[in-house]
Chain A
Amino acid sequence: MNLSTRVMLNRLAPQCAYKRIVTFSTKTAEHAVENQEESKKGVAPAPTPSSPAPVTRKPIIPANYRFVYPEFLPDPKVEWRNPIREKLERLDMLERRKQIDLPEFYVGSVLAVTSSDPHAAGKTSRFVGICINRDRCGLRARFVLRNVIDHQGMEVVYELYDPTIQKVEVLRLEKRLDDSLFYLRDALPEYSTFDENMEAEPLEEGASVPVNDIKVVLRPRPWLERWERQNLRGVANIDEYLKDKHRLSAAKVQKPWEKYDMMKDYRSSIPEEEQTEIFAEVHTDLHTLELQRKRNKRKRTFVKPKQLA
């Protein structure tokens, strides 16, 4: 490929209008903190970014941390990223998690949330339901519980870090085939009916979270959303109510190329190095909380005598 000599050899690093984000480290920006500490020691504050104090050996992070604590990962939108705001938000989340025990749960697990409610008679209200969605990050993390009570389907949105929440218990810890179970709204009521005073099903210690591959039966149309377009895996009779025109329009809307669009995935997720940094920072506290929870759980199961038939 003859490269014409016209290529002027003005050596320019890849000029981009965007700050070269090589390692968007969550260590606080130099000018904010390190120097203040160094200035306290009176050392000439020549912040050499290359050799911070020898970082203690990074604790090994369990691989599933990003599924268990997804809200610790910030929003990947570059314009909103700021290491200091994220660090402060994580400190607040850890403080809050020390006050109440927020257990590990996924979309599809059955939860019971007791929260203090100023309007209720006994000033607290308890709601049992299946978690059908979990979104947002940081202190804004929310999840939706759905239940059918007296043949009336209802849903309640809870904020994970809302201080009015007293207790969150996981009655049944399991995963489903889909990420969000909004189609339960259009399914038969028995799929989202859970008894209020249902017992917590204990899960043995080291076992992995079971995946419940139940296939839900939908009610006839009209539906709330076009379920046929979301290629759901947990729905049984979706073809029963589909006509050809629905299949054609669904096929027209599909985007097969997005599977290969790596940059779209990159821009919507946090890279691995940053994730390990974030979780290394919060690992010690979360680990102690988990040990505490295991101790309490063991104490609790031992205390309650089982009525033998």
Chain B
Amino acid sequence: MMRSVIHQLLGLRLSGGCGVTLTQVRDKGHLSRPRLRNPQWFLRKEVTRYDDHLTTENKQFVNELGGVNFGVPAIKKDVQENLIKTKDAATNEVTWTPGLRRCGLIARKIGQYPLWLKNGERIRTTLLQIADNHVIKYIPPEEYLPAQPPKVHNLKKRGCILVGSESTNPALLTKEYTGIFRDSGVGPKKNLARFIVSPEAELVPGTPLNVNHFGVGDFVDVRGKTVDHGFQGVVKRHGFKGMPASHGVTKTHRRAGNIGGGGEKGRVWPGTKMPGHMGNRWRIIKGLRVWRINTKYNVMWVQGSSVPGPTGGLVYIYDTILPLRKNKEAPPFPTFFGELQQTSDDVWYEKVHDFKNGSITYENE
């Protein structure tokens, strides 16, 4: 919290060169702020969903009018042809180099189930469904000046792509929100996300992104909000051992115990593990391998069951930044433009056992 206060002070971009005197924020006022609660008789504003009493034909008419623009792929009819950047029509054909950063995807974590490797080993996989992603906008590097700049390497030389997923009925959205999608040729979307990309990986608004953006066997980073556990104690939040349940221990079994040293260290160090809100924080899991891809339902199987967030939660998938697991050969750059083949057989990584093959046997060596 204190860091963000300083950031805001630094972030004040005053016109002209006049220097900004940095005022040191000393006290942690935000910790001792009184928790105000309304008196019991206070009438809270009731949130009512106004039913505007449309007749059924009118309701169908409004949905039908709006329907032209939503539903997958939510692309306005007249804008579709010239928007989708087909492979050959790409003007500046850019070859991929290892340093380039590609666009990411928005996915839903729809569940987990086990797969088996060819050597009989059982692995846990998480299913991520990429629900009709479309590029909404591309902001070149010089125009991209976010209020809170994300912690990304050499941000100055990188543009930003706005991606939207899961198109919705525009009748349910506010005018301002649907305004974002007006010039992108894409119907309004439920979720939006920004991906910092290098300028060569620019994408025209309206290009659909699907699961073939990542190849099978590649490594991805998955970012999401962890499951919200609410206010938790130290035993659950930090894995403290707590104290014994008997042998004369009075009134402290799951408490934190000692929180600091003596003498000049007789204070509470910043970062001391204490009870507090657990979960609902952004976390990123790096280097998960993609074991299998299903193009019909746009689903990818990702290694492990540690993808942050509950089932049905939203996650963002990026190419991995781990040096050893980065893409060696060229991925579909800037994204996969071919036609999504609708056959329902999946693309498996060669190490994974496809259920269509026979049982696994071992040869006597």
Contact = CB atoms under 8 A, between A and B. Distances in A.
Interface of A: 10-12, 28, 30-33, 35-40, 44-47, 79-80, 82, 84-89, 91-92, 95-96, 98-100, 116-118, 121-124, 138-140, 159, 161-166
Contacts of B357: 99, 163
Contacts of B122: 159, 162
A75 to B, nearest CB: 10
Contacts of A122: 364
Most chain-B Cβ atoms within 10 A of its Cβ — which of A28, A31, A163? A163
B132 interface: yes
Contacts of B129: 32, 84
Nearest to B77: A44
A47 B71 CA distance: 7
B337 interface: no
B312 interface: yes
23 contacts: A10-B46, A28-B297, A32-B132, A35-B72, A36-B73, A40-B342, A46-B63, A46-B67, A84-B299, A85-B111, A86-B111, A91-B344, A95-B356, A99-B356, A99-B359, A121-B364, A123-B362, A123-B364, A140-B114, A161-B355, A163-B360, A164-B116, A166-B361
A-B pairs, top 10 by smallest CB distance, nearest first, are A85-B111, A95-B355, A45-B71, A35-B72, A46-B67, A82-B110, A164-B120, A96-B355, A123-B362, A85-B110
Nearest to A99: B358
Contacts of B73: 35-36, 39
By secondary structure, the A interface counts as mixed
B176 to A, nearest CB: 23
A166 B71 contact: no
Nearest to A85: B111
A166 B359 contact: yes
B71 A46 contact: yes
A31 B131 contact: yes
Contacts of A89: 113
B48 A12 contact: yes
Contacts of A88: 127, 294, 297, 299
Contacts of A100: 359
A82 B340 CA distance: 23
Contact of B361 (A84, A96, A116, A121): A116
B110 A165 contact: no
A101 to B, nearest CB: 11
A30 to B, nearest CB: 7
Contacts of A82: 110-111, 311-312
Interface in B313-365: 340, 342, 344, 353, 355-364
Given A12-B49, A122-B364, A123-B361, A99 B72 contact: no
Given A12-B49, A163-B359, A118 B340 contact: no
Contact of A45 (B63, B72, B361, B364): B72
B72 to A, nearest CB: 4
Contacts of A79: 310-312
Contacts of B51: 11
B116 A162 contact: yes
Contact of B72 (A11, A39, A139, A165): A39
Given A30-B71, A44-B68, A95-B356, A123 B113 contact: no
Interface string B83-113: 0000000000000000000000000001101
Given A123-B362, A162-B116, 10 more contacts: A10-B46, A32-B131, A46-B63, A82-B111, A85-B111, A88-B127, A92-B355, A118-B119, A159-B122, A164-B359
Contacts of A32: 72, 129, 131-132, 297-298
